[in-house]
Amino acid sequence: MKAVIDNLRREAVRLLANDEVKMVIGYGEGTDASRTTPYFASTPEQSAAFTWGPLCANNLAKHLLDYRYEDTRLAVVVKGCDSRGINRLLQDLQFPRERLVVLGVPCGGQLDRNLIAPEIPPGARLQGIEDTGKVYVLVTDKGRLSFPKDRFLMPKCYLCETNMPVVADFMAGDPVPSPAREGSDRTAEVNEIEALDVAARSSFWDNEFSRCLRCNACRNVCPACSCKECVFEQAVPGWQQSGIIGSKANSLPENMVFHLVRMFHVIGRCVDCGECERVCPVDIPLRLLYRKTLKDAHILYGAGTPGMSTEVQSPLSEFSPEDPEEFM
């Protein structure tokens, strides 16, 4: 892990010193031992603060959108799942390839902050992280904390599709084993919900959506949500909002419209990075919703997970005479 961090820092220093990029977006030390924070270095000196490890859940690809209308070249650190987001942004022409340097990191799985935070002694300061293969060890000033990978990773990691970036100009480390569980079925949870009858399914989602705070975190963190102006915020004065999709009123119908519209908008673009589910403050299982669309797109159009390559078009962006059209 230390070697990867050193490689990353060296490459960031090189890119900034040679003026190859204006800024490097990576991970920096968090404010407690259970997390990191997005970190932006604009000088070689600042690059010394970059870190990497199993506390780097954030998908940094989204931050590129803040600079899409500038003319500066940027570098961004990505894991396997995040890298699909890079490909999608490139495919949607949201960021030009020539202005982008992708720094790939090999990911052995990300620790679930909800699971590890309660195990960390109060006030412990993180000094380093070791990867023993089956266990991540957080070395702190209050002792070594062992987190076996088979219990403490984020649920999405056990279903990991690509733990190595699918696009990278520079790799900061050698391949590491995927955290995916052998024989894991990415559609299992979707199948469970599909097996319910309509009333039970409806009540399942009613219950989840009724809790939504409409904080927009799922949308704002999502690399597929790249619209300059979201449909939910189109210039409609507040006093005319009724009848237009989405007001700020929090009610089950409004919340459902928000989530279902967002779901339809990200079909073929959701890269299944799981950021929506990570950030939701009220634990709505959003990834389950988008997984359903991934499954359907696969059945209907043979589509794989978006962003696996820039060669394959999104199924809804391309017409083929063979497309199913049972509704015609």
Partner 1 sequence: MITRDQLATLLDRLVEKNKVIAPVSDNRGVVRYTAIRTAGDVAWEFDRAKVPPKSHFLPQTEELYCYDTTGGELRIEPVPAAGRAVVFGVHPCDLRAIAALDPVFDGVFKDVYYLDKRERTVVVGLACKQVLPGCFCRSYGIEPTDGEGADLMLTEVGDRYYAEILTPKGEALVREFPELFSDGGVEEGRRGKEALSRELAGQFQREVDLTGVKEKVDTMFEHPYWQEVARKCIGCGICTYLCPTCHCFDIIENHSGHRGSRLRCWDSCMFTDFTLHTSSHNPRSTKKERVRNRFLHKLSYHNERYGLAGCVGCGRCVAECPVNIDITKIIADIKEVD
Binding site for partner 1 (CB under 8 A): 30-32, 34-38, 40, 58, 62-63, 66, 117, 120, 122-123, 207, 211, 213-217, 219-221, 233, 235, 237-243, 247-251, 275, 278-279, 281-283
> Nearest to residue 294, comparing CAs of 196, 190, 194?
190
Shortest distance in whole angstroms from residue 175 CB to partner 1? 28
Nearest to 146 by CA among 278, 54, 29: 54
Do 284 and 209 touch, CB atoms closer than 8 A?
Answer: yes
Pairing mode of beta strands 50-51, 74-78 = unpaired
Sequence-distant (6+) residues with CB within 8 A of 70 are none
For residue 171, what are its two tokens?
């790799």
- Could you tell me if 316 and 286 are in contact, meaning their C-beta atoms sit under 8 angstroms apart? no
For Cα atoms 277, 164, 228, give the angle at the middle one, nearest 5 degrees.
50
Q: How far is the CB of 8 from partner 1 (least distance, A)?
A: 18
Nearest-angstrom CA–CA distance, 77 and 20: 15
What is the SS3 assignment for 25? strand
Task: Please identify, using beta-carbon distances, which residue of 11 and 275 lies nearer to partner 1.
Answer: 275
Query: Considering just the CA atoms, what is the radius of gyration of the chain in Å?
Result: 21
Q: Which residues contact 178 (CB under 8 A, 6 or more apart)?
A: 108, 160, 163
Beta carbons within 10 angstroms of residue 28's beta carbon = 15
Residue 36 CA to residue 116 CA, distance in Å, equals: 14
Query: Cβ 328 to partner 1, closest distance in Å?
Result: 33
Q: For partner 1, which is the closer residue by CB, 42 or 309?
A: 42
- Minimum CB distance to partner 1, residue 302 (Å): 33
Nearer residue to partner 1 within complex by CB, 34 or 305? 34
Is 211 or 295 the residue whose CB approaches partner 1 more closely?
Answer: 211
Euclidean distance between CA atoms 79 and 212, whole angstroms:
29
Nearer Cβ to partner 1 (66/318): 66
Nearer to partner 1, 38 or 155 (CB): 38
CB atoms near residue 296 (< 10 Å): 14
- Shortest distance, position 42 Cβ to partner 1, whole Å: 10
Q: Which is nearer to partner 1, 150 or 283 (CB)?
A: 283
Nearer to partner 1, 243 or 324 (CB): 243
